[in-house]
Amino acid sequence: MYTVAFIIKRNPAMSLDEFLSYYRDHHGPLMIEHIKDKGLISYEHFPVDIAVTSGRYVASDGPAFDAISIYSFETEEQAEACWAIPEVIEDSRAFIDFDTMVALPANRRTVFRAP
């Protein structure tokens, strides 16, 4: 299995509300439409919790990023093929600031799971 997390900031032309709405209502469904039958095992969204705007883990000027998307595929090759789909590229560019995006290929290691 190949898993990658994308840590993303919104396109600077968008408000946080516009970004979160687009991410949830447009981008998520579009991604499923284009990649669900191409080795995708799971796809999860972790949008910023706008109710938590301060505290121990949040910088004084707010969260540094707006969301995390985590994808798991059967193979790395399948993931790379999905990132090359023109509709995926075009839609991602519409709402993501690619200059600040972090891609983190990762392996899952469960440290604890409640019974």
Dump pLDDT digits (tens) for 23-76: 999 999 999 999 999 999 999 999 988 776 666 666 666 678 999 999 999 999
Range name among 5-14, 48-57, 94-103 with the lowest pLDDT average? 48-57
Average pLDDT, the chain: 91
Report the pLDDT value the prediction gives residue 75, as an integer from 0 to 100. Answer: 95
Neighbours of 9 (CB within 10 A): 20
Report percent pLDDT > 70 for the chain: 90
Q: Does position 15 have pLDDT exceeding 90, yes or no?
A: yes
* Residue 12 pLDDT > 70: yes
What phi and psi, each to the nearest 5 degrees, are found at residue 32?
-60, -45
Instruction: Extract the tokens encoding 14.
Output: 């968008």
Report, at the CATH architecture level, how domain 2-50+64-106 is classified. 2-Layer Sandwich (3.30)
pLDDT at 94 over 90: yes
Residue 39 three-state SS? coil
Task: Please tell me the number of Cα atoms within 13 Å of 86 on its side-chain side.
Answer: 0
